[in-house]
Structure 1
Amino acid sequence: MKSPQKERVRTPERLMEEIRGTLPPFGCAAVWFFGQESVAVKGSETVIHVDPFYSDYLEERGVKRAYPALLKPEHITIADLCLITHEHEDHLDPWTLKVIAEQCPETRFMAPLSCRAKLESTCGIMPERIIDALTGEWMDLKGRGGERIRIKPVPAAHEEVETTGSDRAHRYVGYLLDVNGVKVYHAGDTVVYPGLPELLAEEAIDLGMLPINGRDYFRTSRGIVGNMNVREAAELAKITHMDTVIPLHYDLFTGNSEKPGNFVQELYERYPEQKCHVMARSERFIYCSPRSFLT
């Protein structure tokens, strides 16, 4: 007889089985957290990976993780969409994306226009599988089983808003996702810039995922580009009326980290009615929109 403890061991294979087998009802979305800003989001059937960073690519160049990757690229056997927020290698991980493209031939990849050349040349992804993340408009995509997926790339400022060639071709983006009756916002790497709170407040976001690691003179002097800090993330969640907020980008590199408890404390002291959830590594979190219970 297997012990309960052994049953709880979450191997990469079991994680993939869990992702494949999770079928949220309408008004719900499943989220899995794999460190930094790597998450998987699932509506009714479609699996969307955002910034999957699972290789040892940076380790080989002397950039050490605070803990080993929870998945390896070869473990990814289900991926319908893969969204990339920008070209930094802890977000656009060429070795992970190359393996996903080979193992999951139906996967489509969305990324800023400035990432296209790298996706094609370094990752070996065919041009027809790449969708340019042009900001400001909703895109309708057909997911697994015909599921309707809506995606709207949103400009991000890491630490400045930058465009590459046109007003909609931003170098850094976040993503609004409308899946299975739930609106999700993954901010990517960004600070709060003029116009972002107003843009997000119009969208009635159910589940927001925000970086919290912040920025300072000393990290900037070492070439580390920053994001919003815990106070800014807490206020952004509150003033844009996010139903629930999840902190990201705080745990993977010791020189660029933050304590998620500081974010929770900030919310508790200033906005105690704001719902939040700090995700354990590889946790499956099922978000249920309050609207799903309305008759």
Structure 2
Amino acid sequence: MEQSERGLEILKELNETVVPEGMLAVWFLGQNSVLLKGDGNKIVCIDPYLDPAPYRVFAPPFQAELLTNIDYVCISHDHSDHLDPYAVEAIAKVNNQTKFIAPAYCNDQLQECGVSPENIVKADTNLEWCTTDVKIKAIPAAHEEFEYSPEDGHRFVGYILDWNGVKVYHAGDTVIFPKLVETLRKEAIDLALLPINGRDFFRNEREIVGNMDVREAAELAVAAGVDTMIPLHYDMFAGNSEKPGRIIDYFYENYPMQKCHVCARFERFIYVSREALKGK
């Protein structure tokens, strides 16, 4: 696989983008994959899916081994479009300092991909923070249902980052459950990255586990008091997709003051918090 022209631009942007306090840079790579950059030139990659598989709707923007400057990789669960063995192996190979935060269910697979045990951080939902230089915490997710064991904890997680004066929630794969709204409201989330592809009987029959749908994601953003919402998980597989314009229509018709941004493919989006420009 060769990197695209836009892929080369992304790699250049990752190195050159300077992110002031109260802001965060987000690159959307498709499906649930995002790159985040804040202060200290640190970069976090969540659910990198860069395998050039033939069943993708579109090719990844670059080869995973070109991501040489990733500080943290956050994995929400062990499905291959979230824990992509190709991407994990490549990132681990080119930077032996990268830390991989993931549920304990992922440990064996991460090590099979060449991640050293000392570079694996358990996504323990009982901890206040899994890491502290970039403050990252794991919270439970219900990929239609919870899966939990006393030994390994939750199989599915989302992540909250408190970084550079911005609170970000990346949901991973999840439906809405009773405590989620309360948790997000207490966290005062600025930017929520939410799946919108939904679920139904026929996809379940094909063993495709689902997520919240467009209406649920929109209502979650509003109920939780999220400042800005970005939809994810709608564009990669023909049989498990959604049209992101539907969430724009839903907000326009029901909550016209709610901010939502649909990222263009491989776009760099700069989030500016409500506090960033005060007193400037």
TM-score normalised over the length of structure 1: 0.90
User: Is residue 201 of structure 1 aligned with residue 185 of structure 2?
Assistant: yes
Equivalent AA in structure 2 for residue 55 of structure 1: D
Are 1:136 and 1:152, in contact at CA under 8 Å, matched by a contact in 2? Answer: no
Aligned Cα RMSD in Å? 1.4
- Which structure 2 residue ranges, 5 or more long, are not aligned? none
Q: Which residue of 1 aligns with 2:51?
A: 55
**Cα distance in 2 for residues equivalent to 1:136 and 1:237:** 24
Q: Which residue of 1 aligns with 2:85?
A: 94
Q: Which residue of 2 aligns with 1:246?
A: 230
Decide which of 210, 217, 228 is 1:226's aligned counterpart. Answer: 210
Task: For residues 127-162 of structure 1, give each alpha carbon's deviation from its aligned partner in whole angstroms, at most 9, with x where no partner exists.
Answer: 0000000014332635xxxxx311110100001011
**Cα distance in 2 for residues equivalent to 1:33 and 1:200:** 22
Decide which of 141, 144, 152 is 1:159's aligned counterpart. Answer: 144
**Cα distance in 2 for residues equivalent to 1:138 and 1:21:** 32
**Cα distance in 1 for residues equivalent to 2:254 and 2:212:** 17
Equivalent AA in structure 1 for residue 9 of structure 2: R
Decide which of 106, 115, 137 is 1:115's aligned counterpart. Answer: 106
**1:15 Cα deviation from its structure 2 partner:** 1.3
The ranges of structure 1 where at least 4 consecutive aligned residues each deviate by more than 3 angstroms after the TM superposition are: none
Task: State the SS of the aligned residue for 2:172.
Answer: coil
Are 1:16 and 1:78, in contact at CA under 8 Å, matched by a contact in 2? Answer: no
Q: Which residue of 1 aligns with 2:58?
A: 67
Are 1:114 and 1:164, in contact at CA under 8 Å, matched by a contact in 2? Answer: no
Task: State the SS of the aligned residue for 2:276.
Answer: helix
Q: Which residue of 2 aligns with 1:21?
A: 16
Are 2:122 and 2:130, in contact at CA under 8 Å, matched by a contact in 1? Answer: no
Q: Which residue of 1 aligns with 2:119?
A: 129
Task: For residues 100-150 of structure 1, give each alpha carbon's deviation from its aligned partner in whole angstroms, at most 9, with x where no partner exists.
Answer: 0011221100000110111012x11110000000014332635xxxxx311
Equivalent AA in structure 2 for residue 87 of structure 1: D
Percent pairwise identity: 49
User: Is residue 258 of structure 1 aligned with residue 248 of structure 2?
Assistant: no
Task: State the SS of the aligned residue for 2:14.
Answer: helix
Q: Which residue of 2 aligns with 1:277?
A: 261
Summarize the Cα distance change of 1:200–1:26 in structure 2 as closer, same or farther, 3 Å threshold: same
TM-score normalised over the length of structure 2: 0.95
Are 2:121 and 2:130, in contact at CA under 8 Å, matched by a contact in 1? Answer: no
**Cα distance in 2 for residues equivalent to 1:10 and 1:30:** 20
**Cα distance in 2 for residues equivalent to 1:72 and 1:140:** 28
Are 1:86 and 1:172, in contact at CA under 8 Å, matched by a contact in 2? Answer: yes
Task: For residues 229-284 of structure 1, give each alpha carbon's deviation from its aligned partner in whole angstroms, at most 9, with x where no partner exists.
Answer: 00000000001000000000000001000000001111111111110100011111
User: Is residue 38 of structure 1 aligned with residue 33 of structure 2?
Assistant: yes
